[in-house]
Amino acid sequence: MARLCVEAVHKLLNIPALRLIRPISQSAYRLQTEKEDADPEDDRPMERQQPKRQMVDPDTSIRYLASSSYREAYGDDPVWRHYRRNFKGSLPPRTRKTCVRKGEIATGSPCPVCRDEFLVLDMTNVGLLEQFISPYTGEVYDYMKTGLCQTQHKKLVLEVLKARNHGLIQSAVPFRRYDYSEYMEDRGKKEDV
């Protein structure tokens, strides 16, 4: 109440508030004077801000996979090989729903794809997609193994399906040849006995 009275007296006498009220820092005083000097007409809605993360197109991502900076960062290993999320206990929890919120990274340890903004999951980026596909079964690795957030994992599965439909990734599992003569000989002997 007393503070309101002091402020009213300051306004009547045109005395700056800095002299009589408790001392405040210069930056706080500048902010206070800027707010007072601002025109009320400038209360228009702010223009839409650009996202904090750089948006990279798939062609740039493909060039990045062939660059020396990528080889220096990841070597010959897949991007998810050295990723480890901190957690308590021996069993890892489910991966988070998303790592990026409102255009910026919202977690302390984002997934391998969200961490590097030049890694773009796209059907044309075959080099990156093949890192998440098992060479033995042809299936996409589980997000518990790769550490991808659920948003990026869904996008990965969708892009792999698109790439297979367009013929960019082969989905054939290697054909196994069996020697059926071994089985047929045993069968013939049992019938003769």
pLDDT in tens, 157-177: 999 999 999 999 987 666 778
Q: What is the pLDDT of residue 190?
A: 57
Please determine, for residue 41, whether its predicted confidence score (pLDDT) is greater than 60: no
Query: Distance between CA 86 and CA 89 in Å, rounded?
Result: 10
Predicted confidence (pLDDT) at residue 54 exceeds the cutoff of 50: yes
What's the pLDDT score for residue 20?
41
Q: Is 177 or 192 the better-scoring residue by pLDDT?
A: 177
DSSP state of 121: -
Q: How far apart are CA 27 and CA 37, in angstroms?
A: 15
Q: What residue type is assigned to position 177 of the chain?
A: R
Contact by Cβ (8 Å): 113, 56: no
pLDDT confidence of 183, banded at 50, 70, 90? confident
Mean pLDDT of the 96-116 span: 86
Task: Please give the Cα distance from 159 to 25 (Å, whole number).
Answer: 55
Please state, in angstroms and rounded to a whole number, the distance separating the CA atoms of residues 67 and 83.
21
pLDDT score of 176:
75
In 10 A of CB 145, how many CB atoms? 11
Residue of higher predicted confidence among 117 and 129: 129
pLDDT band at 88 (very low <50, low <70, confident <90, very high): confident
